[in-house]
């Protein structure tokens, strides 16, 4: 069975983009692949989070994972910092990573431009830590967005380089992966681009009914079509994308026909959309609240997941140590 790995930084709550763009695919993957889903708390250190927030945010993401349907009996769910082996592999990969190639990565250049006073070594070597997460489990497939594709190519490069230097076939070259059809791209409500935390245009799974309605009612619209069957501009197309995902086909058809007849009432569309988004989020929100209260359960899931992940990681690191020339762990 092929291995799939995916991680998320604990920098805030999951939003609808995470849920429809990734989580729903993960629920199918856990039935068909050997899956590792982890919370990348070490990756978050590049932005120097407050110590109080690290554990709290980790518990939040873990509760949301479980509330969305990830099953610890089907997939290995763990916290990155509980698996120390990744740091040893990170060091080995860094010894074969070169300054020029790390400086040329788009993610490094973008972050360095946005935060010129915090261009730290962890940011520079982010691709090697990401590669370590993947290669530690000798993963075959990694679900990633387009913004991480260059880092995935770096992971493949590091795998090839290690295998070539030591004339072995230890690491498979991981491939970017989308389960089934292309993953849904969920737009923001500000009229353009995708939904995201940093963009400030997200609807979170934890948002209550009132908050959801407020966000949807503020969505960007125009004055409406003036010609029948007019193409929908991007802000309007975004609203209809939401309708196609969370509403019934009849609801979508009703508003689509109204638009094509130049009879669309955006206020009515937004009210219906807010109701349908809340209907989608409400049961997940309730489960998140219940899981978040049960700290003992969250710790149990994290501990058991770490034990499984470490057993697999230990085997990989021990093989890497011997290949490089170090003795077995004493």
Tokens of 3: 């291995």
Q: What is the mean pLDDT of residues 263-271?
A: 96
The residue annotated as part of the active site, out of 74, 157, 185, 197, is: 197
In a domain? residue 252: yes
In a domain? residue 139: yes
User: In terms of domains, do 32 and 132 share one?
Assistant: yes
User: In terms of domains, do 59 and 150 share one?
Assistant: yes
If one counts every other C-beta atom within 10 angstroms of the C-beta of residue 43, the result is: 20
User: In terms of domains, do 308 and 284 share one?
Assistant: no
141 included as an active-site residue: no
Is residue 228 scored above 80 in pLDDT? Answer: yes
The residue annotated as part of the active site, out of 111, 141, 213, 215, is: 111
In terms of average pLDDT, the best of 59-73, 111-125, 183-197 is 59-73
Compare 46 and 130 and report the one with higher pLDDT.
130
In a domain? residue 330: no
How far apart, in whole angstroms, are the C-alpha atoms of residue 90 and residue 73?
Answer: 28
CATH number of the domain at 228, please: 1.10.240.10
293 included as an active-site residue: no
User: In terms of domains, do 265 and 304 share one?
Assistant: no
Is residue 214 scored above 70 in pLDDT? Answer: yes
Tokens of 109: 């250049």
User: How would residue 121 be classed by pLDDT, with cut points 50, 70 and 90?
Assistant: very high
User: In terms of domains, do 73 and 127 share one?
Assistant: yes
How far apart, in whole angstroms, are the C-alpha atoms of residue 34 and residue 75?
Answer: 7
User: In terms of domains, do 21 and 136 share one?
Assistant: yes
Q: At what angle do helices 266-293 and 234-246 cross, to 10 degrees?
A: 50
Is residue 245 scored above 90 in pLDDT? Answer: yes
pLDDT at 192 (0 to 100): 63
What range does the domain containing 224 cover?
Answer: 209-289
197 included as an active-site residue: yes
Number of domains, the chain: 2
In a domain? residue 31: yes
Is 167 strand, coil or helix?
coil
Taking only Cα atoms into account, the Rg of the chain, rounded to an integer number of angstroms, comes to 22
Is residue 305 scored above 80 in pLDDT? Answer: yes
Average pLDDT score over the chain:
92
Q: What is the pLDDT of residues 309-321, one digit of tens each?
A: 999 999 999 999 9
The residue annotated as part of the active site, out of 157, 194, 232, 271, is: 194
Q: What is the mean pLDDT of residues 323-329?
A: 86
In a domain? residue 306: yes
How far apart, in whole angstroms, are the C-alpha atoms of residue 185 and residue 14?
Answer: 15
pLDDT at 196 (0 to 100): 79
Tokens of 114: 């946005």
């Amino acid at each position: 069975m092929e291995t799939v790995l995916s991680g998320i930084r604990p920098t805030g709550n999951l939003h609808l983009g995470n849920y429809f763009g990734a989580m729903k695919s993960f629920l199918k993957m856990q039935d068909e692949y050997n899956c590792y889903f982890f919370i990348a708390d070490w990756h978050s250190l590049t932005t120097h989070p407050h110590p109080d927030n690290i554990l709290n945010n980790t518990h939040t993401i873990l509760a949301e994972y479980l509330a969305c349907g990830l099953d610890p009996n089907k997939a290995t769910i763990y916290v990155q910092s509980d698996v120390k082996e990744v740091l040893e592999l990170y060091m080995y990969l860094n010894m074969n990573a070169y300054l020029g190639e790390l400086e040329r990565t788009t993610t490094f250049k973008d972050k360095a431009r946005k935060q010129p006073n915090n261009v730290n070594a962890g940011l520079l070597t982010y691709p090697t830590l990401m590669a370590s997460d993947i290669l530690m489990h000798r993963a075959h497939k990694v679900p990633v967005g387009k913004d991480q594709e260059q880092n995935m190519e770096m992971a493949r490069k590091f795998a090839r380089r290690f295998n070539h230097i030591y004339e072995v076939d230890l690491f498979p070259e991981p491939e970017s992966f989308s389960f089934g059809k292309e993953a849904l791209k969920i737009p923001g409500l500000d009229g353009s681009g995708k939904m995201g935390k940093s963009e400030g245009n997200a609807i979170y799974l934890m948002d209550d009914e009132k908050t959801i309605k407020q966000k949807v009612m503020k969505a960007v619209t125009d004055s409406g079509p003036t010609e029948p069957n007019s193409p929908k501009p991007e802000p309007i197309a975004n609203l209809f994308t939401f309708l196609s995902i969370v509403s019934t086909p009849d609801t979508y058809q009703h508003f689509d026909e109204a638009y094509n007849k130049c009879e669309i009432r955006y206020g009515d569309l937004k009210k219906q959309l807010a109701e349908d988004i809340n209907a989608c989020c409400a049961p997940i929100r309730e489960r998140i609240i219940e899981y978040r209260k049960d700290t003992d359960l969250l710790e149990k899931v994290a501990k058991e997941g770490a034990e499984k992940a470490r057993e697999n990681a230990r085997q990989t690191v021990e093989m890497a140590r011997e290949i490089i020339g170090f003795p077995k762990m004493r």
